[in-house]
């Protein structure tokens, strides 16, 4: 149970930071969703591009979540432009 709460917390922080980087205004629930999906996206990208696996430290998980969330928000902005 605490692992799920920890993932949600990291996801919320990653989504919030990615929203600030991409200059997006989002609510808390959207930040959490973007951060969690971004974490999966970031870890998938790191594995397929650089063959990096493993969970790592809290800072590594946050960095991966932020990178994945920024990519996710960028992809969403591309889709919304069309």
How does residue 54 score in pLDDT terms, banded at 50, 70 and 90? low
Would you state the pLDDT for residue 82? Answer: 66
Q: What is the mean pLDDT of the chain?
A: 84
Q: What percent of the chain has pLDDT over 70?
A: 94
Q: What is the per-residue DSSP string for 28-64?
A: HHHHHHHHHHHHHHHHHHHHHHH---S---HHHHHHH
Total domain count for the chain? 1
Would you state the pLDDT for residue 74? Answer: 93
Residue 72's nearest CA partner among 3, 8, 27, 17 is 17
For residue 60, pLDDT beyond 80: yes
For residue 1, pLDDT beyond 70: no
Range of the structural domain that residue 32 is part of: 2-81
Structure tokens at 6: 């920890």
């Amino acid at each position: 149970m605490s692992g799920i709460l920890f993932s949600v917390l990291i996801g919320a922080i990653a989504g919030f930071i990615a929203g600030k980087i991409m200059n997006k205004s989002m609510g808390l629930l959207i930040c959490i969703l973007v951060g969690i999906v971004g974490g999966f996206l970031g870890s998938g990208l790191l594995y397929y591009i650089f063959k990096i696996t493993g969970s790592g430290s809290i800072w590594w998980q946050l960095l991966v979540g932020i990178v994945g969330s920024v990519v996710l928000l960028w992809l969403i902005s591309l889709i919304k432009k069309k």
